[in-house]
Structure 1
Amino acid sequence: MTRKPTPRAVLYVRLSSSDDASTSIARQEADLRLRAEREGWDVVRVLADDGVSGGKARANADEALRMLRDGEADVLAVWKFDRWSRQGLGALAALIEVLDERPSALFIADRDGLASSQPAWRIIASVLAEVARMERENTRTRVLSSLAALRTSGRYAGGQRPYGYVSAPNPDGPGRVLVIEPTEAEVIREAARRVLDGETVYAVAHDLNAREIPSKSGKRWSRTVLLGVLTSDAILGRVTHRGEVVRGEDGLPAEIFEPILDGDSWHRLRALLVPAKGEEVRPQRRRAARLLSGVIRCAACGSPLYVRSDGKGIVSYVCSRKGDGGVCPGVSVNAERVEEYVERVFLEAVGDAEVFTLTETESASAADLADVERAVAETTAALGEDDADVASLMARLASLKERRAALRSAASSPEVALVGTGSTFRETWEAGDVEARRALLSANVAVLTVSKGRRGVHGLDASRVTLVAQPAHPRGIAPDAEGGSRIVA
């Protein structure tokens, strides 16, 4: 008589987080090995997913199922069905498909007393699968509720700390809170001031890297990282839960921790750096390669001059209107020569003057109004959710609209003022890169044009260049007949 071959078993064990509790990996494996010994199975492999949620894809569970499908194992044994999966009927369907392909194969859920050889096993397994899925959802809800309670009460719920803050013991009770980290907070305040004063986020990030000031990760700053910090709700002492800002009873964002920036500065940053809802996010404009790109124009037709290389290392600013079929004599000027000339004339005229920046100061009601507008939009959107508490949301919306009306009537126009930087134009110029210098020229030069050159003149004919300062300055700048600089009233 032919001896029946010994069934080969693969044991699969799983735990969401490894510990010494009764459902530990070691306990599951020991119980399954005892079952294998009683049944006379030959354990060919033990596969474990340790620290992996049953609601997520599990590489070793997939491998165990493959072994059963490919005939490398005859039995797939798990401690309980919820150790196999908490993904519901979808995971069960994949298991049934394999067992249908191999009718001789066996699935065992030891502690549930479930075996695929039982007549009604699919019905029982379906119930166990849905119970496991529901328990996963309930656990997730409890965890999220706990995190929300911590955050709303002002306690730190863990996770990645926002830049500018560190975790500290809660002085008013159990748990921990976030407190301002002075060095990082000063980086945020400096960056915010500079961006509001007209510098680009890229230029500020570049300067932080040059000064070897690390980002939160300890790496170099990028424009994206700095932009995220400056526009985050965190620097106003706010926290988010499931992607939404935690709000008070009135629907307005709750200030959980001490803010790093004042609300007015933060709203001005957001207005500068974040597109309005529904507005297309425009791609970043490529940085111009030369000092006068976007600043210098053709005196004949008023069109911008563009940078063009002849392929032999000579770069010029040229008017492309003639080439495009427009009426223009075709202005062209050597880029290096005109840049050197403009720099010299500009600094001779205003180099010793102090640089001033234009600053707008909004009233407190204007900053509050922005918060209320945002709360109105988000409350309105929440009304469309399937599980929305309509009565509560409508009451909140009515209150917010009433407050918005009051703030609109009280809002005043922003105050505009020129604020001295304490640095001269020459100092600012020497400290800046090409982009910063271009920004300085663009903000302070009303006219910079070049006319068509004369035949037989070598070098830069300074009479071709007209340079006039912005009206805010009492004097304009233009070349004299000899090619030097002179002041124009």
Structure 2
Amino acid sequence: MTTNHNAAVIYARLSQRRDDGAADHSPAIERQVALCRQLATDHGLEVTATHVDDGVSAWAATARPGFETLLSDVTVGRARVVLAYAPDRLARNLGDYARLFDAAKRARVVFKFVVGGDVDPRDANQDFMSGVSALVSAHESALKSTRVRAANDQRAAQGRVHRGKRTFGYAANGVDLEPREAEALREVARRILAGDSLRSCARWLNEVGVLTAGGKAWAANTLKYSLLRPTLAGYIVHRGEVIEGVVGEQAAIFTEAEHAQLKAALATRARPDSRPNHRRGRAPSTLGTGLYRCICGETMTASRDKQGVDAYRCRATLLPKREGKHTTRRREPVDDLVGMVIAARLDSGDVQRLLAAQANDAGEGQRLAARRDEVRAELDDLADAVVSRALTVKQAATISTGLQAELGRLDAALAAADNTGVLELVGGVVDGQAWWNEASLEARRTLVSALVTVTLLPSKRGPGFKPESVGIEWKI
């Protein structure tokens, strides 16, 4: 306990910063501290410490490190006086008020305010009035919260966007487009509809230097939720729901039809473990790597021989001890043959018809996949609901537990469902060869994985490529 009867500590708090956050403390905090220092000078007090909570509300369920340090100083008697701008800067709820004033009463610490005079917790009348003041402050905070919520309801009904963190694709005002980001989203949408995966699109964005609104690298899930935001199609979302019949003031990146098409494509996309390239690491750069098979049953990998010829080689041949017979084939003629066979079947239209029939039979799987997508979106929206105070942290945690359990059940139910998403790739194809020529490598690999089993067979000796050495078995 301090023996310096003139020792004083300053506490300053600001609920929300309105500057750019570049300085250590906001101008409003600096003004509070300066006025408290002047108060100390006027009363001949020696300021021994200054504690600050900058941009932290006393009403929200948020840790206030400055307040907790102040409480510790008061409890152990490091100061005889606490200086603050006003009583509501110390506490705006009775719980914090009680903790601080009980500690001050035991340690014989008094409070001096720039606005509000002096308070001695040992004085029964002053203690009562301070309690009333804290209660009034708590009531004012509750009223403010109600007013803010009502204002947000009104903004949403008028189609005005919620002001908060910057959304990728939009400027800081939430209304105007950020041209480079908006065009990047459109390009990603085109790639998704052409059959590319979310992971490859996230990798592309990172490679070209178009990072998230927070300046971080993209991940597949982050990109998915960004693409599915209804606000990108001009909708207004309030408290996690789209307001029907209200057109947002923000510029739309996608049309309503494009948004629906993109949502459907992502909902029916294959689960990660059913796609040809689901493993971590470098993505395959050839059509048949990991898909084509050797006569021994092992998959093929791409390699280049001593003459510089690109070929497919059985993975087993890379092992020190290889037993049995294995095959090796030049890569280009094999890939050309596989492409021609698949394109010819696409031209006939029967692949599309069979896929459509399977999709109809798998209606329950599609329903499960759509619900899984909704659950993931709901989990993502929980954070926004907490930030906007539509939900408390405890309420959000309870909801999250239920959603996570449902997500586990949906994933288990989908594990046995055939949900390849291939129909989304080729449902409208009328010129198979043209589609194959223009499709991305990942889209081609998806089609090969879903439609055929390619086995490289032994070949008779002799010059030239022999098509009969490539076995193509249809899966549908």
TM-score bracket for the superposition, by shorter chain length: 0.5 to 0.7
For 2:336 and 2:242, how far apart are their aligned partners in 1? 55
How many Å apart are 1:291 and its aligned residue? 4.9
Partner of 2:383: none
Aligned partners of 2:266 and 2:165: how far apart in 1? 24
Question: What corresponds to 2:263 in structure 1?
Answer: 270
Residue 400 of structure 1 corresponds to none
Partner residue in 1 for 2:103: 98
Pair 1:230-2:227 in alignment: yes
1:255 equivalent in structure 2: 247
The 5 A counterparts of 1:207-246 are 207-209=204-206, 216=213, 221-242=218-239, 244-246=240-242
Partner of 1:316: 314
What amino acid sits opposite 1:135 in the alignment?
A: E
Distance 1:235 1:419 in 2: 31
Contact in 2 for aligned 1:298/1:331 (Cα 8 Å): no
CA distance in 2 between counterparts of 1:419 and 1:136 reads: 63
Structure 1 pair 130–339 and aligned structure 2 pair: CA distance change class (3 A): farther
Amino acid of the structure 2 residue aligned with 1:286 = R
Match for residue 14 of structure 1?
13
Aligned positions of 1:37-186 closer than 5 A:
40-55=44-59, 56-86=62-92, 88-96=93-101, 98-99=103-104, 102-108=106-112, 111=116, 113-166=118-171, 178-180=175-177, 184-186=181-183
SS of 1:254's equivalent in the other structure is strand
- Could you say if the C-alpha distance between residues 253 and 59 of structure 1 is closer, same or farther in structure 2, counting changes exceeding 3 Å? farther
Contact 1:296/1:450 (<8 A) preserved: yes
Q: What's the counterpart of residue 390 of structure 1? A: none
- Answering whether residue 284 of structure 2 is matched by residue 286 of structure 1, we say no
Equivalent position amino acid for 2:260 in 1: H
Alpha-carbon distance, 1:231 to partner: 1.0
Map 1:437-452 to 2 at 5 A. 437-442=444-449, 445-449=451-455
> Which structure has the greater CA radius of gyration?
1
Match of 2:189?
Answer: 192
**Cα distance in 2 for residues equivalent to 1:422 and 1:93:** 77
Closer, same or farther: CA 50–226 of 1 in aligned 2, 3 Å: closer
The alpha-carbon distance between structure 1 residues 94 and 229, as it changes in their structure 2 partners (threshold 3 A), is same
> How many Å separate the matches in 2 of 1:332 and 1:438?
26
Q: Deviations over 1:240-295 (max 9, x none)?
A: 334x2352xxxx3633145433334423432443599xxx9989942576854664
Query: Cα deviation per residue 1:407-460 (whole Å; 9 max; x = unaligned)?
Result: xxxxxxx995325599564565xxx55x455225335x5342356x79x9xxx9
TM-score, normalised to structure 1's length? 0.58
1:282 to 1:447, Cα distance in 2 relative to 1, 3 A: closer
**Partners of 1:448 and 1:466 within 8 A in 2:** yes
Q: Give the residue type in structure 2 aligned to 1:178.
A: V
Give 1:466 shift: 0.7
Change (3 A) 1:423 1:208: farther
CA distance, structure 2, for counterparts of residue 349 and residue 203 of structure 1: 26
The equivalent residue for 2:334 is: 342
Report the alpha carbon displacement of residue 237 of structure 1 after superposing the two structures with TM. 0.6
**Identity over aligned residues, as a percent?**
27
Query: Which residues of 2 match residues 299-314 of structure 1 at below 5 A?
Result: 305=298
CA contact (8 A) 1:18 1:51 kept: yes
Partner Cα distance (1:206, 1:281) in 2: 16
Q: Compared with structure 1, are the counterparts of its residues 12 and 424 closer, same or farther at alpha carbon in structure 2 (3 Å cutoff)?
A: closer
**Residue 7 of structure 1, CA deviation:** 3.1
Of structures 1 and 2, the one with the larger relative CO (CA 8 A, separation 6+) is 2
1:201 matched to 2:198: yes
Deviation at residue 82 of structure 1 after TM alignment: 0.8
| Equivalent position SS for 1:14 | strand
| 1:13 and 1:78 in contact (8 A); partners too | yes
Alpha-carbon deviation of 1:6? 3.4
Q: Matched residues in 1 for 2:132 and 2:341: separation?
A: 85
- Structure 2 residue runs of 5 or longer lacking an equivalent are 19-26, 302-311, 317-322, 357-369, 379-389, 392-423
3-state DSSP class of the match of 1:224? helix
Cα pair distance change 1:265/1:155, threshold 3 Å: closer
Quick check: which one's strand share is greater? 1
Gap change, CA 1:418 and 1:237, over 3 Å in 2: same
Instruction: Give the Å deviation of 1:226.
Output: 2.7
Are the aligned partners of 1:245 and 1:253 in contact in 2 as well (CA < 8 Å)?
no
Please give the root-mean-square deviation of Cα atoms over the aligned residues, in Å.
Answer: 5.2
- Closer/same/farther in 2, CA of residues 36 and 117 from structure 1, 3 Å limit: farther
The C-alpha deviation readout for 1:124-146, integer Å capped at 9, x for no partner, is 44333332222222223323332
CA distance in 2, matches of 1:177, 1:103: 50
What are the superposed Cα offsets for residues 114-166 of structure 1, whole Å, 9 maximum, x if unpaired?
A: 32121255544433333222222222332333233233323344334434444
TM-score after normalising by structure 2? 0.59
Q: CA–CA distance in 2 between the matches of 1:46 and 1:296?
A: 69
CA distance in 1, matches of 2:75, 2:268: 53
Task: State the SS of the aligned residue for 1:77.
Answer: strand
Amino acid at match of 1:439: T
Q: How many residues align?
A: 374
Q: Is the 8 A contact 1:316 1:332 kept in 2?
A: no
> How far, CA to CA, are the matches of 2:81 and 2:45 in structure 1?
8
Of stretches 32-41 and 196-205 in structure 1, the one that deviates more from structure 2 is 32-41
